[in-house]
Amino acid sequence: MRIFTLAAVAALSLTAAACNKPAGEKAADAAGAAKAESAAANSAANTASTDAAAAAAAPTPAAADAAKGAAADASKSAGEHAAKAGEAAKDATKAAAKDTTSMSSTATKK
């Protein structure tokens, strides 16, 4: 029974430590997420452009319709990733501001 109690306390301690990441680490994580989403948006936009060119050069209307559909899907995906990148960038900015605030308040206390 004592082992289970100690394991539970250890698990709760690890959870608390993970939740209390410094703002600088949170900012770095959010910036990394923004960068990844931005890259995904760029990739999807390139795919949309390629699919649109394929639609324009398609030999038949059916082939053009398929390429248009793919281009529309890729454009939608690019927009979604761009929105996620924007949200992650906002999160990174907020976390960086908190980090700067906590650093300046720590410096004034010393």
Tokens matching residue 100: 């700067």
- Please say if the pLDDT value at position 9 is more than 80: no
Q: Identify the residue whose tokens are 């109690």.
A: 5
Q: Among residues 105, 98, 104, 101, which one has the least CA distance to residue 25?
A: 98
At residue 13, the 3 state secondary structure works out as helix
Q: Among residues 50, 56, 97, 58, which one has the least CA distance to residue 74?
A: 50
pLDDT band at 4 (very low <50, low <70, confident <90, very high): very low
Predicted local distance difference test score (pLDDT) of residue 101: 66
Whole-number Å distance between alpha carbons of 81 and 58 = 28
Predicted local distance difference test score (pLDDT) of residue 106: 52
- Please say if the pLDDT value at position 22 is more than 90: no
Predicted local distance difference test score (pLDDT) of residue 103: 54
- Please say if the pLDDT value at position 3 is more than 60: no
Q: Among residues 47, 35, 25, 26, which one has the least CA distance to residue 86?
A: 35
Contacts of 40 (CB under 8 A, 6+ apart): 77, 81, 85
At residue 110, the 3 state secondary structure works out as coil
Average pLDDT over residues 61-65: 93
Q: Enter the pTM of the model.
A: 0.64
Predicted local distance difference test score (pLDDT) of residue 8: 47
